[in-house]
Structure 1
Amino acid sequence: MAIPINIEKLLGGNTVENNRIELKGGWNPDSIYRTICAFANDFEDNGSGYIIVGVDEDNGRPVRPVRGVPIETIDRIEKEMVGFNNLFEPFYMPRVSVEDIDGKKVIVIWALAGDRRPYKIPEHITAKHKTPKYFIRYNSSTIEAKGENEMELIELANRVPFDDRGNLTARISDVSMLLIREFLNQVQSKLLDDIEDAKPHDVLEQMGLLDGPIESERVKNVALMMFSYHPEKFFPGTQIDIVIYPRGKDDDPDNFIEIDPIKGPVNIIIQKALDFLRTMVIQQRVQKVPTQAEAIRTYNYPYQALEEAVTNSMYHRSYQEREPVEISVMPDQIEIISYGGADRSLSLDALRSGNRLHARRYRNRRLGDFLHELGLTEGRGTGLPTIHRELKKNGSPDAYIETDPDRTYFIISIPCHKDFVTDELVVDKSGNVVGKDWVTKLGHNWVSEDDAAKAINAINKQYNTELAASTAASITASKAASTATSIIRLLDALLVNDFSTRQLFLKASIPYNDTSRKKYVNFLVELGLIDWDHSLSKRSPNQTLHLTDLGKAVLQRIKQK
C-alpha cells in the first residue's frame, strides 16, 4: 500500500524538511537500516523520516531523472527487509511503497517514530557477527548514539508526544474515512487510489494512526485531531474563539462582540479562522507612486503573519488543556492566546528575537507533519521568523510575545499598521470589522476616502475634465462619449466582468485603436484603477483587465457626488 504523501513533493522538499529525507542511489542495507533505526528513535521529535532508494543526490538535492531500482530486484529487496526487520531490538517495521518517478521504479521507506523506543540494530546487518547499537539523526546524518546522547535517548522511552499516543476512549468508527480521503486528495497521495476497497483499520495502520499490539490497538490522538468531525469530544476546548473589542480589551473589556466558536478538525478550524480574518478583518491601502510601475500596497495585518500565528496556536497548544485558543481583535492589534506554552528549552529572549528556533521537543510532532503537508505551516522553527519578516515587509511594528516561567500559556500580539489604527472598531451589516474612519467597502478589501479622492483629482488633472455624478448620469443620454464619460463607461464595464482590451472598448462603446488604448488603459493601469491578470503574460491571448479595489472606490465616489 502507498504512503500518505506525494512523492514528487517529497523529492522537491516542499512538504518535508531535508534532514528527514535520505536519498540512496542503490540498495545498501547496512547504511539504510542504520538510518531507519535513527528515524525510529526520533531523537529530535521529528515524527518520521523517509528513505528513497533509487535516487542519487548532489549536494543534498535529488538528481533528476532518477536512477531507479531495477524491477527484477524489487521483490528480492522486499523479502530481505522482512528478515532485516526482525533484527531490531525491540521489533520494528517501517512502511514500504514502490513508486513511479521519471518512468523508473523507486522504493520509498517511511520510518515513523516508534512507540517502543529506543531501538537497536546491528551496525552491519549483512555481517556474520552482528553487534546491535543505537542510532540517531544529527542534522542530515545518521550517527551512533553514545554517552549523553545514549542516556537521553533511553530516557525518551517514557516521553511519547501527546498526539502520537493511543486514545483510551476512541474507536476506529470515530475516524471519518471521508476526511481522510479529502486529505489524501489535497496532498495528492497515491494512497488515495488504494483506500476505496480497503478496510478503515488497514488505512489507519498504513498511515501510522494506530497504536499498541493487535489485541488492544488504539486510535492515535492525532487521527482524532485531524480526521474526526468532533475532536472536542476527546479533547475539550479544541476550538478557536474570536472576540472583537471595539475600544480595546484593556480600555473597555465589557464591550465585546463574540463570533460563533469555530470547531471541527484542527486543519478546518485553522482555515475557517483564517478565512474570517482575511475576509472580515484584513484591510488594504493602495498608493500609486508616479515614478513606480507597481502600486504600494499596505495591509493593516499581513495575511502571512496571521496565518503563521493562528496555525502555530493550534499546532503548539496543549490538547490536554480544556481551554480554547482565543483571538482578540482590537483597534490597534490582534492578540492570540493559546494554553500550553512553548518548550522550556526556548528562552523568552529567543522567542522574541525573530530568529529561527531550535526546540528539542515538539508537543504535537505528527500534527505538525499533517499541517505542513497541507501547506498551513512552513516548517519547524520558521513560524516566528516568518511573522517578524512579514510585519517588517509591511512596515508594521514587530510582534510582541509573552509567556510565563511555567509555560502554561503563550500570547502573541500582532500590531496593526499605524495607518489603520483607529479609536474604535465597528461591525457593519455584512459582518466586516472596520475602523470608523474607513468607510468605502470594496470586495474583500478597504480603501480610504482619501485615496479615492486623490485618484479622482489625478484623473481630472490628466484629462482636464470633471468626474461627477452628472457625468455618470449622462452616459445613457448620449453615445458621443466625452473623456469623463468614457472613463466611467470603462470602469462600469469592468465592475460587471473582466475583459480583454478589445472587448472592454467594445462593451464601453469606445472606438478601439492604439490612440484610445494608450490614452485610457495605460494611465488607468498606472494610477491603479484597473490592472492586468498577473498570472498570465501580457502577450497572452487570454489576458484580461479587471477593476481594482481603488477603481471600485473611485467609481462609487463618483456616483455619490
Structure 2
Amino acid sequence: MALPINVLDLINGRAVESERIEYKKGWNPGPIYRSICAFANDFDDIGGGYVIVGIAEENGRPVLPPEGLGEEDLDSIQKEMIQLNNLINPAYHPKISIEEIQGKNILVIWAFGGDNRPYEVPDEIKAKDKKYHYYVRYGSSSIKVSKDQKEELISLSGKTPFDDRANSQVSLDEISLTLVRDYLRKVSSKLLENMDALTKEQLLSQMQLLYGPPERRHPRNVALMMFTENPEKYFPYSRVEIVHFPNGEAADEFMEAPHISGPVDHMINRTLEYLKINVLQQKTVKVKGQAESIRVWNYPYQALEEIIANALYHRDYQTREPVEIRIYQEKIRVINYGGPDRSIKLAEFKKGKVIPRRYRNRRLGDFLKELDLTEGKATGIPTIIKALEENGSPKAVFETDDDRSFFHVAIPIHSKFLTSTKVRISKTKVRKKIILSSEEIKRELGESAFKILLSMRANPKVTAAEIALEIGISSRAVEKNIAKMREKGYLEREGATKKGTWIVFLTWDE
C-alpha cells in the first residue's frame, strides 16, 4: 500500500533529513533489520526513518536510475518480512510500499518511531544462534548501543512524544477525511489514488495515525492537530493571537486581530498571510554612487516564515497558552510557551548553531516538512539569521528562562523604516496617594493586579513581559490588568517604553 509521502521527494532527500534515509541496492535482511530496529528506537525523537531497497548509494546520495527489484523478489521479500518482523523484540511491523521509479520497482520501508521501545534485534536475523542487541542511529549509521546509550534508551520506555500519543478520549470519527484528502493532494502522495478503496480506519492506520487494537482504535494527537477543523477543542488555546501596539509596549492602547485557529498547517499559512497583508512593507533605497537601487523589507518574509512555523511546530500543546505575536513600531515579538529543550543553551541561539537533543513533536514535524512549511533538522535558526543578514536587518534576539517555560524571538525593524519622530515625555501630574488595604485592592482589582503592583513597587522599571514571567501569568493578562489600573488612575508610566518608570498612586498595608 502507498505511503502518505511524496516518494520522489523522499528519494532525493528533499522532505526528510539524509540521516533518516538508508539506500540498499538489494535485499540483505541482516543490515536492513538492524536499521529498522534503530529507526524504531528513535533515540533522538526525530520520527524514525526509511529504508529504500532497490537503489544503490554513493557518498550518501542515491544512484539513479535504480537497480530495481524483480516481481518475484518483491513477493518473496514481503512474505519474509512478515516472519522477520516478529523476531524484533517486542514485535514491530513497519509500513511498506512498492513504488515504480524510472521504470524500476523499489521497496520503501517506513520504520516510524515505535510505541513500545526499546526494541532489540538479532545481529544476524537469519542466524541459527541469535544474539540480540539494541540499535540506534548515529548520524547515518545504525550502531549497537553503548552502556550509557542502553541505559538512556531503556529510560525512554513508555515516553512517547505528546503528538504521537493516542488520545483515548476521542473517536477516530472526529478526523476529517476532507482534510486528509487535501493533505495527500498537496504532497502528491500515491495514497490519494487508493483512498476511495479504503475504509477510514485502513487509511488512517496506513498513515500511522491510530493506536490500539482493532476493537479500541483511537487517533493520535497529531491526527487531531492536523486533520480536525478545530484542534483547540482538544488542545485549549492552540491558536495564534496577534496584537498591535502602535504606541509602545507599556501603552494601554492596543489592537487585537481576530484569533487564528484551525489545523496547524492552516494556522501557519493564515498567520503568514495576515502578516504579508497587514505588516510587511518593501522600500526602494537609492545607493550613492551606484546605478541600481536596492530593495529592503521592514521584516524579511523568510525569517518570519521560519519563526511562525517553528513556533507552532515546537510549542507545548499541553500548555494552555496561545502563540502570541506582538507588533510594535520598532519590532515584532513572537512568544511561544513551552521553551526549547534543556539541552540547548541560549548561547547556541546567538551563535546560530542549535542542535536539539530531542524533538517535542516528532510526527507533526514530518507533516509540516512534507508541506514545505518547515525545513530539515536544526536549520531554523540559521535560516532566520541568514534572512536577516541578507535583508540588512539587525540581528534577532532570542530569550528563554532557566525552566524553559517560554521562548521569545524579537526581530527589530530594518533601520530604513524607523521614523525620526521625537519621543515626547510628559511630566507626571502630582497626585495624592490613594490608601487602601491589600484586601481591598484584591477585591477591587483581583489577585493578579495586586501581584503586578507588588512587582512595580519592587522595581519601577520592570516591563510587562518581565512581570508576566515573575508572577506566572500571560503577558496579555498583565497588559489587561495594567490598562484597567491606568484607567482608574491608580497607575501611570513616565518615560520611553524601554527606559520608563511606573508611578503607582496606591499605597497599602503589608
**TM-score, normalisation: structure 2:** 0.81
Indicate the larger mover: 100-109 or 61-70.
61-70
Distance (whole Å) between structure 1 residues aligned to residue 209 and residue 412 of structure 2: 39
Distance (whole Å) between structure 2 residues aligned to residue 292 and residue 175 of structure 1: 58
Post-superposition Cα deviations, 1:78-101, rounded to whole Å, max 9, x if no partner, equal 000001001011110000000010
Q: Does structure 1 conserve the Cα–Cα contact (< 8 Å) formed by 2:184 and 2:192? A: yes
Distance (whole Å) between structure 2 residues aligned to residue 423 and residue 194 of structure 1: 61
Distance (whole Å) between structure 1 residues aligned to residue 283 and residue 71 of structure 2: 59
Secondary structure of 1:398 counterpart: coil
Post-superposition Cα deviations, 1:105-124, rounded to whole Å, max 9, x if no partner, equal 00000001000000011110
Q: Does structure 2 conserve the Cα–Cα contact (< 8 Å) formed by 1:96 and 1:107? A: yes
1:286 matched residue in structure 2: 284
Distance (whole Å) between structure 2 residues aligned to residue 378 and residue 265 of structure 1: 19
Return structure 1 stretches of 4+ with deviation > 6 angstroms.
290-293
Q: Does structure 1 conserve the Cα–Cα contact (< 8 Å) formed by 2:41 and 2:48? A: no
Q: Does structure 2 conserve the Cα–Cα contact (< 8 Å) formed by 1:332 and 1:422? A: no
Secondary structure of 1:194 counterpart: helix
Q: Which amino acid aligns with 1:40?
A: A
Q: 1:359 aligned to 2:353?
A: no
2:199 matched residue in structure 1: 199
Q: 1:120 aligned to 2:120?
A: yes
Change in Cα spacing, 1:141 to 1:293, as seen in structure 2 (3 Å) is: farther
Q: How do 1:51-90 and structure 2 match up within 5 A?
A: 51-90=51-90
2:399 matched residue in structure 1: 402
TM-superposed CA distance for 1:294, in Å, is 5.8
Q: 1:301 aligned to 2:303?
A: no
TM-superposed CA distance for 1:215, in Å, is 3.2
Q: 1:383 aligned to 2:380?
A: yes
2:309 matched residue in structure 1: 311
TM-superposed CA distance for 1:172, in Å, is 0.8
Post-superposition Cα deviations, 1:412-470, rounded to whole Å, max 9, x if no partner, equal 0011001112379xxxxxxxxxxxxxxxxxxxxxxxxxxxxxxxxxxxxxxxxxxxxxx
Q: How do 1:499-518 and structure 2 match up within 5 A?
A: none
Distance (whole Å) between structure 2 residues aligned to residue 166 and residue 135 of structure 1: 25
Distance (whole Å) between structure 2 residues aligned to residue 324 and residue 24 of structure 1: 44
Distance (whole Å) between structure 1 residues aligned to residue 168 and residue 212 of structure 2: 11
Q: How do 1:211-230 and structure 2 match up within 5 A?
A: 211-230=211-230
1:428 matched residue in structure 2: none
Change in Cα spacing, 1:65 to 1:237, as seen in structure 2 (3 Å) is: same
2:26 matched residue in structure 1: 26
Within the candidate set 342, 345, 348, 1:344 is matched to: 342
Indicate the larger mover: 207-216 or 379-388.
207-216
TM-superposed CA distance for 1:289, in Å, is 5.6
Post-superposition Cα deviations, 1:32-80, rounded to whole Å, max 9, x if no partner, equal 0000000000001111200000001111111111111112211001000
Distance (whole Å) between structure 2 residues aligned to residue 158 and residue 249 of structure 1: 44
Within the candidate set 303, 320, 323, 1:322 is matched to: 320
TM-superposed CA distance for 1:131, in Å, is 1.3
Q: How do 1:272-283 and structure 2 match up within 5 A?
A: 272-283=270-281
Q: Which amino acid aligns with 1:420?
A: F
- The structure number with the bigger radius of gyration is 1
Q: How many residues align?
A: 421
Distance (whole Å) between structure 1 residues aligned to residue 109 and residue 290 of structure 2: 52
Q: How do 1:449-488 and structure 2 match up within 5 A?
A: none
Superposition RMSD on alpha carbons, in Å? Answer: 1.4
Distance (whole Å) between structure 1 residues aligned to residue 189 and residue 268 of structure 2: 22
Secondary structure of 2:195 counterpart: coil
Distance (whole Å) between structure 2 residues aligned to residue 309 and residue 144 of structure 1: 37
Unaligned runs of 5+ in 2: 422-510
Q: Does structure 2 conserve the Cα–Cα contact (< 8 Å) formed by 1:331 and 1:423? A: no
Unaligned runs of 5+ in 1: 425-561
1:267 matched residue in structure 2: 265
1:532 matched residue in structure 2: none
Secondary structure of 1:397 counterpart: coil
Distance (whole Å) between structure 2 residues aligned to residue 77 and residue 299 of structure 1: 55
Q: Does structure 2 conserve the Cα–Cα contact (< 8 Å) formed by 1:41 and 1:113? A: yes
TM-superposed CA distance for 1:295, in Å, is 4.1
Q: 1:169 aligned to 2:166?
A: no
Change in Cα spacing, 1:423 to 1:205, as seen in structure 2 (3 Å) is: farther
Change in Cα spacing, 1:119 to 1:302, as seen in structure 2 (3 Å) is: same
Distance (whole Å) between structure 1 residues aligned to residue 388 and residue 137 of structure 2: 34
Q: Which amino acid aligns with 1:39?
A: F
1:102 matched residue in structure 2: 102
Distance (whole Å) between structure 2 residues aligned to residue 366 and residue 241 of structure 1: 24
TM-superposed CA distance for 1:201, in Å, is 0.7
Post-superposition Cα deviations, 1:359-417, rounded to whole Å, max 9, x if no partner, equal 11111111111111111111121111111111111111100011111011111001100
Secondary structure of 2:117 counterpart: coil
Distance (whole Å) between structure 2 residues aligned to residue 109 and residue 166 of structure 1: 23
Q: Does structure 2 conserve the Cα–Cα contact (< 8 Å) formed by 1:247 and 1:423? A: no
Distance (whole Å) between structure 2 residues aligned to residue 27 and residue 400 of structure 1: 50
Q: Which amino acid aligns with 2:198?
A: A
TM-superposed CA distance for 1:290, in Å, is 9.0
1:519 matched residue in structure 2: none
Within the candidate set 414, 417, 421, 1:417 is matched to: 414
TM-superposed CA distance for 1:353, in Å, is 1.8
Change in Cα spacing, 1:228 to 1:106, as seen in structure 2 (3 Å) is: same
Q: Which amino acid aligns with 1:302?
A: P
Q: Which amino acid aligns with 1:386?
A: T
TM-superposed CA distance for 1:248, in Å, is 1.7
Indicate the larger mover: 367-376 or 212-221.
212-221
Distance (whole Å) between structure 1 residues aligned to residue 179 and residue 67 of structure 2: 36
Secondary structure of 1:127 counterpart: coil
Q: Which amino acid aligns with 2:326?
A: S
Distance (whole Å) between structure 1 residues aligned to residue 337 and residue 325 of structure 2: 12
TM-superposed CA distance for 1:17, in Å, is 0.3
Post-superposition Cα deviations, 1:507-533, rounded to whole Å, max 9, x if no partner, equal xxxxxxxxxxxxxxxxxxxxxxxxxxx
Distance (whole Å) between structure 2 residues aligned to residue 6 and residue 190 of structure 1: 8
Distance (whole Å) between structure 1 residues aligned to residue 202 and residue 275 of structure 2: 39
Distance (whole Å) between structure 1 residues aligned to residue 10 and residue 288 of structure 2: 44
Distance (whole Å) between structure 1 residues aligned to residue 75 and residue 291 of structure 2: 60
Q: Does structure 1 conserve the Cα–Cα contact (< 8 Å) formed by 2:3 and 2:206? A: yes
Q: Does structure 1 conserve the Cα–Cα contact (< 8 Å) formed by 2:172 and 2:217? A: no
Secondary structure of 1:419 counterpart: helix
1:11 matched residue in structure 2: 11
TM-superposed CA distance for 1:216, in Å, is 2.5
Q: Does structure 2 conserve the Cα–Cα contact (< 8 Å) formed by 1:55 and 1:63? A: yes
TM-superposed CA distance for 1:129, in Å, is 1.2
